[in-house]
Amino acid sequence: MHERILDERGTYDTAAYGEELAAAPHNHDIGTTLWFENDHIRVFESRLEPGERATFHIHDKTYFWTVVDPGKGLQHYADGTWTTTRFGLGDTAYREQTPDDPLIHDLENVGDTTLRFVTVELKR
């Protein structure tokens, strides 16, 4: 496993994504495919081909993700910032989000290979 590498960061005009950002607090689809769900967790696969983009969504529960197919991603955040990151095989991140401190973002594959994560959300 190697450390994620933040390539670039900047700002953007949130009006360009106005409708998506307005809907994001109600979009709890944090991956492209829901693999498993019970009273305690939800497990998602996020699979993006080059040029594909996952729309803005909300993380308002504790979760973690692991990269299973490495690549390069562009993320826009609700606060008007963006970052590009090179994700390596096995990279993992853990985030404690709550309804009072949510994370709203999108993810676009800006690389030339399939980018794939497994994300586990803790319901409690």
Parts of the chain with a pLDDT under 70: 1-6
Structural domain including 94 reads: 5-122
CATH for 93? 2.60.120.10
Model pTM score: 0.90
- Check if the beta carbon of residue 34 is closer than 8 Å to that of residue 43: yes
pLDDT score of 43: 99
In terms of Cβ atoms closer than 10 Å to its own Cβ (0-12, 13-18, 19+), residue 10 is exposed
| Count of structural domains, the chain | 1
- Check if the beta carbon of residue 108 is closer than 8 Å to that of residue 82: no
- Check if the beta carbon of residue 3 is closer than 8 Å to that of residue 86: no
- Check if the beta carbon of residue 23 is closer than 8 Å to that of residue 56: yes
pLDDT score of 8: 87
